[in-house]
């Protein structure tokens, strides 16, 4: 189990405002020992348009957040860089965005094409503004055209960066999707959050784990393999917007999905 | 050569793309005669899921034509298994960024079933899929397939757990679950033999570009930024 994800569950399971995202960003940044953590939604759904452009500070005095039209970002980058990126419309020439928009696999920035003049300029400016020489981006694609990226950056050697990614790639995918879910919750773009519907089997596996059984016991009792149990639990976790299994159980109980405990 | 190609990059390999959709037509329409399979006016087979930006894992021959392929999509989006086969997965709509679906596994009918290449294609496809999944932090593949494929998975050392099965007019079908591990990936590489030895070609990839190519020795290893700074 990941300490970072457990830490998020224990201390920050439910950010209530965009400012609160700063604490989440800080937490991930410290947990992974990277320099920057950022989130940028270029679409939160085909019909989502913010009435006014806005910028603000994040809690814990980390970076800032901004939104305009359909996009929303929050980042530990210096305010100056975030604003410059938005004002210049850099997302239109950024190879990270260009690749992420048509891909579901995470991207090591080093593997992208930065050769053209515009891209070199962008990269040089980013380095000048303290973004770092390494980047890794997890794309998030949701229903109704939702598209966001979750990014970590640092200044280090290629080797160190590859090791860091290898160690944390799994956690990064989960953290990215969690962050996106929290932004959807906070911006409340879909009105009341729809009730999560879990299938009976997903309820069974969560209930068994909530009762304190370990995975192999729970799988044995339910007459399924342990890996089958793992995919059922993970589907339930994802649908509940939980960051790990304890969080999924807590949400399941709060939402009245898990009964009889 | 094993290629990992995003749907949006298929146009860069027109022969490969056309021969893949042609071979899929031959396998799923002409040979297996699945009812749901539709061909376009050029006799190519593709369906709605091909439009959801999947990634294709493709074995290519020396001439750049298709030998075999599979299609990978995350289960957080629309998938075949959720749309049509959730009764084979305990009624659960599998949905997580850590679970990918594999569909349209195909070996080109041009290859004789007993040829050395044909026998290595399934292992090569799974090897590439495992490698991509491992790099992406993904834990499981799910797929719906005909029961006779169980023999193939077993032969390449990547037998899935069967989540459920049912009889259909076309034969018994299964929903399978593969746990992604480095051990199995390495075993698959060995089974894929020469096909895996040449390595994987990712599109878009570092290989296409000058920067960050894995060829760099320790002494010439510079960060993107410092390389660029020197170049400018």
The strand pair at A36-43 and A71-75 is best described as antiparallel
- Classify residue B87 by its DSSP letter: G
- Do B137 and A170 lie within an 8 Å CB cutoff? yes
- Do A133 and B225 lie within an 8 Å CB cutoff? yes
Produce one character per residue of B9-19: b if its CB has 16 or more CB atoms within 10 Å, e if not.
bbeebeebbeb
Q: Does B221 touch chain A (CB under 8 A)?
A: yes
**B170, B146 contact by CB (below 8 A):** yes
Q: Does B219 touch chain A (CB under 8 A)?
A: no
Q: What is the spatial distance between Cα B104 and Cα B101, in angstroms, rounded to a whole number?
A: 10
Chain B segment 142-201 residues within 8 A of A by beta carbon are 142, 161, 163, 177, 179
Which of helix, strand or coil describes residue A200?
A: helix
Q: What pLDDT score does A189 carry?
A: 64
- Do A133 and B226 lie within an 8 Å CB cutoff? yes
Q: Please tell me the pTM assigned to this model.
A: 0.91
Quote the tokens at residue A211. Answer: 């009762």
Contacts of A114 in chain B (CB under 8 A): 209, 211, 224, 228
- pLDDT tens for the 261 residues of chain A, in order: 589 999 999 988 888 888 899 999 999 999 999 999 999 999 998 888 888 888 888 887 778 998 888 889 999 999 889 889 988 989 999 999 999 999 999 999 998 988 889 999 999 999 999 999 999 999 999 988 899 999 999 999 999 999 999 999 999 999 999 999 999 988 876 566 667 889 999 999 999 999 999 999 999 999 999 999 999 999 999 999 999 999 999 999 999 998 755
Q: What is the spatial distance between Cα A193 and Cα A187, in angstroms, rounded to a whole number?
A: 11
Quote the tokens at residue B232. Answer: 């400018």
Asked if residue B115 has pLDDT above 60, the reply is yes
Closest-CA residue to B137 (of A261, A62, A32, A107): A107
Q: What pLDDT score does B232 carry?
A: 37
Quote the tokens at residue A159. Answer: 């080797």
ipTM of the prediction: 0.94
């Amino acid at each position: 189990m990941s300490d970072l994800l457990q830490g998020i569950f224990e201390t920050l399971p439910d950010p209530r405002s965009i400012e609160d995202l700063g604490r989440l960003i800080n937490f991930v940044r410290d947990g992974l020992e990277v320099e920057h953590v950022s989130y940028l939604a270029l679409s939160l759904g085909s019909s989502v348009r913010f009435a006014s452009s806005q910028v603000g500070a994040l809690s814990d005095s980390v970076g800032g957040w901004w939104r305009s039209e359909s996009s929303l970002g929050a980042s530990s980058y210096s305010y100056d860089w975030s604003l410059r990126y938005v004002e210049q419309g850099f997302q239109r020439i950024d190879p990270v965005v260009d690749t992420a928009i048509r891909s579901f696999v995470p991207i090591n920035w080093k593997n992208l094409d930065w050769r053209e003049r515009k891209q070199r300029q962008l990269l040089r400016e980013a380095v000048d503004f303290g973004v770092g020489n390494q980047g890794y981006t997890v794309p998030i694609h949701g229903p109704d055209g939702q598209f966001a990226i979750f990014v970590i950056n640092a200044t280090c050697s290629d080797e160190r960066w590859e090791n860091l990614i290898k160690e944390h790639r799994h956690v990064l995918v989960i953290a990215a999707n969690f962050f996106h879910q929290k932004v959807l919750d906070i911006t409340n773009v879909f009105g009341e959050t729809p009730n999560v519907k879990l299938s009976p089997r997903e309820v069974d596996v969560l209930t068994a784990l909530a009762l304190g059984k370990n995975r192999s016991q729970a799988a044995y009792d339910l007459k399924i393999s342990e890996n089958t149990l793992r995919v059922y639990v993970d589907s339930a976790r994802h649908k509940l917007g939980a960051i790990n299994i304890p969080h999924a159980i807590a949400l399941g109980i709060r939402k009245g999905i898990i009964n009889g405990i | 050569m094993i290629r990992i190609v995003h749907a949006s990059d298929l146009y860069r390999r027109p022969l490969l793309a056309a021969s893949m959709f042609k071979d899929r037509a031959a396998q799923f329409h002409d040979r297996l005669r699945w009812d749901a399979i539709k061909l376009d006016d050029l006799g190519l087979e593709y369906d709605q899921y091909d439009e959801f930006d999947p990634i294709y894992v493709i074995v290519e021959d020396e001439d750049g034509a298709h030998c075999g392929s599979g299609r990978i999509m995350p289960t957080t989006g629309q998938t075949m298994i959720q749309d049509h086969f959730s009764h084979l997965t305990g009624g659960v709509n599998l949905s997580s960024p850590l679970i990918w679906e594999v569909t349209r596994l195909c070996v080109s009918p041009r290859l004789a079933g007993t040829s050395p290449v044909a026998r290595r294609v399934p292992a090569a496809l799974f090897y590439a899929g495992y490698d991509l999944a491992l790099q992406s932090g993904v834990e499981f593949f799910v797929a719906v397939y005909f029961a006779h494929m169980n023999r193939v998975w077993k032969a390449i050392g990547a037998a899935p757990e069967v989540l459920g099965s049912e009889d259909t007019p076309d034969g018994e079908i299964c929903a399978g679950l593969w746990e992604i591990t480095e051990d199995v990936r390495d075993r698959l590489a060995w089974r894929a033999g020469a096909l895996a030895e040449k390595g994987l070609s990712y599109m878009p990839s570092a290989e296409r570009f000058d920067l960050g190519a894995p060829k760099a020795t320790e002494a010439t290893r510079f960060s993107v930024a410092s390389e660029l700074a020197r170049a400018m």
